[in-house]
Amino acid sequence: MLVASASPAVGSPCLRRSPGRGRGRGGARFGMTAARSLSVSVVPILKKLQRECATPLPVLRHVADAMAADMRAGLAADGGSDLKMILSYVDSLPRGNEKGLFYALDLGGTNFRVLRVQLGGEEDRVVATEFDQVTIPQELMFGTSEKLFDFIASGLGKFSNKEGGKFHLPPGRKREIGFTFSFPVKQISIDSGILIKWTKGFAVSGTAGKDVVACLNEAMERRGLDMRVSALVNDTVATLAGARYWDNDVMVAVILGTGTNACYVERTDAIPKLDGHVSTSGRTIINTEWGAFSNGLPLTEFDREMDAASINPGEQIYEKTISGMYLGEIVRRALVKMAVEGALFGKSIPHKLLTPFLLRTPDLCAMQKDESDDLQKVGSVLYDVAGVESNLGARKVVVEVCDTITKRGGRLAGAGIVGILQKMEEDSKGLIFGKRTVVAMDGGLYEKYSQYRGYMHGAVTELLGTELSRNLVIEHSKDGSGIGAALLAAANSNYEHDF
């Protein structure tokens, strides 16, 4: 996950508030003169923001077309576009006939999650699931590769020792694992991948340049565990697999949360860079890494300032425009300018408001859901989170800013989805737009922010038109990546499913 730098925010030192200008939380409003002068000074900034964030149909069409073109260029050659278009080597997707006991291991941050699932074939499907979460000690995040993977193997061992009840492994079989590894990896097969570098606060020595699956398999052998990794995947690919198990029409998976990514099912004959890999199904999943997309996005001074202050300037521009980590920070920067140049919150600017990444997406969501006459919830969030005292006029402006940034983010995400579908349709006339097609969605931003979700759906409908939109289903696949990894282990199992 990208971490923003603590560079100073736009703003000025806090000024002393004049006596009598303050108010309690959700309390008295300013007089008409103050409200009128507030609107006069702030409106030009707000209008400029809305103009620069506008996503009319021509802008959405350009983004969708550019996404499709960049996908094609990324499939032609590594480095051919901003989109990496990574081969997942997932050629066998779950079909619903899988049987047996399978495990999943999800390593993507300071915790790792282990899960087991008993599959009963087409009749019984998922018989039972169990999971556990283990916190990784901080010293192991800076230790050696052997110690980290030994700790993970130990956690797997303790979890597998609790196996019982509805969970049973047929005699003579190894337990098979789907390994979700959310760090930069160059995948070389379905069950192997070379670590490029650690991110998210990890600085483990002795792993970069090595096969992470081999590291885990060796650690399990040292612990005497009769387990092996049969599928190495990222969380987006696992989400697609989890949704596909229940619905054969799932062709795309998108994660919209703190970060964002998308993957889709691609024909192998449409991948020029495939370099000899043969797929028995003629299809494979492509991990687009679409957060790196940047072509034709409507950006503001606040986006550029935030990007310049980040740890990866000039990178992940689409992600910085549409994902949950950044929406609140863009709003905060806009509010600081309005406070400094337009006295949005009166004569003083609270120090807290100058703190980078102080406003989070859940704060925006809470403020946008406030339908009270005096916008009391908006006032409470501003006061509790940023130490800001506000009148009704200021609160209305804040809601407008939140809506402007959220609307742009949701509509651009919708354009990206249509771009993926367009690319698929161009190669398979009528096989995407001509029939029912499902996009599986996961992530807290999509799940919990109804305004964002509505704007995203609206953009998709606007781009496709009413008739084609009827064939497209955007379906929430909550926590699908965990069971999806186990299902990919089953789909790529060394054993038959006919026992």
Active site residues: 200, 235
CA angle 241, 253, 274 (to 5 degrees): 75
Cα–Cα distance, 225 to 246 (Å, whole number): 31
Phi, psi of 462 (to 5 degrees): -60, -40
Cα–Cα distance, 414 to 231 (Å, whole number): 30
Residue 360 DSSP SS3: coil
Residue 352 DSSP SS3: helix
**CB count, 10 Å around CB of 393?**
19
Cα–Cα distance, 103 to 136 (Å, whole number): 19
Residue 31, C-beta contacts closer than 8 angstroms, at least 6 positions apart: none
- Residue 136: closest CA among 95, 163, 105: 105
Cα–Cα distance, 68 to 417 (Å, whole number): 10
Cα–Cα distance, 178 to 492 (Å, whole number): 9
Which 8-state DSSP code applies to residue 241? H
Residue 407, C-beta contacts closer than 8 angstroms, at least 6 positions apart: 53, 55, 451, 455
Torsion of CA 77, 82, 88, 89, to 10 degrees: -10
CA angle 271, 67, 72 (to 5 degrees): 20
DSSP string, 17-37: PPTT----TT-PPPPHHHHHH
Cα–Cα distance, 357 to 340 (Å, whole number): 18
**CB count, 10 Å around CB of 372?**
10
Q: Residue 438 in contact with residue 84, Cβ under 8 Å?
A: no
Q: How far is CA 178 from CA 107, 119, 168, 234, 407, in A?
A: 11, 14, 17, 10, 37
CA angle 181, 323, 370 (to 5 degrees): 130
Alpha-carbon torsion (20, 21, 22, 26), positive or negative:
positive
Cα–Cα distance, 92 to 71 (Å, whole number): 22
Q: Residue 89 in contact with residue 486, Cβ under 8 Å?
A: no
